[in-house]
Amino acid sequence: MQLSHERPDYGFVLRGADATSARVNDQVLTRSFAIAPDHLLEDWDAPASAAALEPAHLAPLLALEPELVVLGTGARQVFPPAAALAACLTRGIGIEAMDNAAAARTYNVLAGEGRRVVVAMLLG
């Protein structure tokens, strides 16, 4: 049986994620971070929970000029406050909140389609 290793045509792949860690390419991260297909923001200054997310926390993500922000909110889906959602939506940028495992899968699909997506993971 011949096996092939999938090599995506973008730089940063989420190999897996849970509430406390994520594997980006071959690196295990244990602090909140964000990635785009071509950029890793390892030290994202994020709050401990999505409920405390403020528009200022999103500024480094929006600087990457995504069309969509996928927000990984830990072990379960938590919606951020309206002001944080508005920071994206008023700029025409979509934002979706989901648990970290779902966020990782969604990011990989969208990045594989060539979309301008940023995934931001709250770890802790």
Residue 117 lies in a domain: yes
Using one digit for the tens of pLDDT, what is the confidence trace for 9-36? Answer: 788 999 999 999 999 999 999 999 999 9
Using one digit for the tens of pLDDT, what is the confidence trace for 68-109? Answer: 999 999 999 999 999 999 999 999 999 999 999 999 999 999
Geometric angle at alpha carbon 18, from 14 and 24, rounded to 5°: 20
Residue 4 lies in a domain: no
Q: What is the DSSP string of 53-73?
A: --HHHHHHHHTT--SEEEEE-
68 by Cβ neighbours in 10 Å (0-12 / 13-18 / 19+) ranks as middle
CATH number of the domain within which 66 lies: 3.40.1230.10
Predicted pLDDT at 6 = 56
What global pTM score does this model have?
0.91
* Residue 97 and residue 73 in contact, taking contact as beta carbons nearer than 8 Å: yes
User: Per-residue pLDDT averaged across 37-59, rounded?
Assistant: 96
pLDDT at 8 over 70: no
Rg (CA), the chain: 14
Residue 6 lies in a domain: no
Give the chain's domain count. Answer: 1
Residue 3 lies in a domain: no
For residue 83, the SS3 value is helix
Predicted pLDDT at 3 = 42
Residue 2 lies in a domain: no
Single-letter residue type at 24? V
> Which of 51, 43, 25 minimizes the C-alpha distance to 120?
43
- Residues in CB range of 78: below 8 A, 6 or more apart: 49, 50, 51, 97
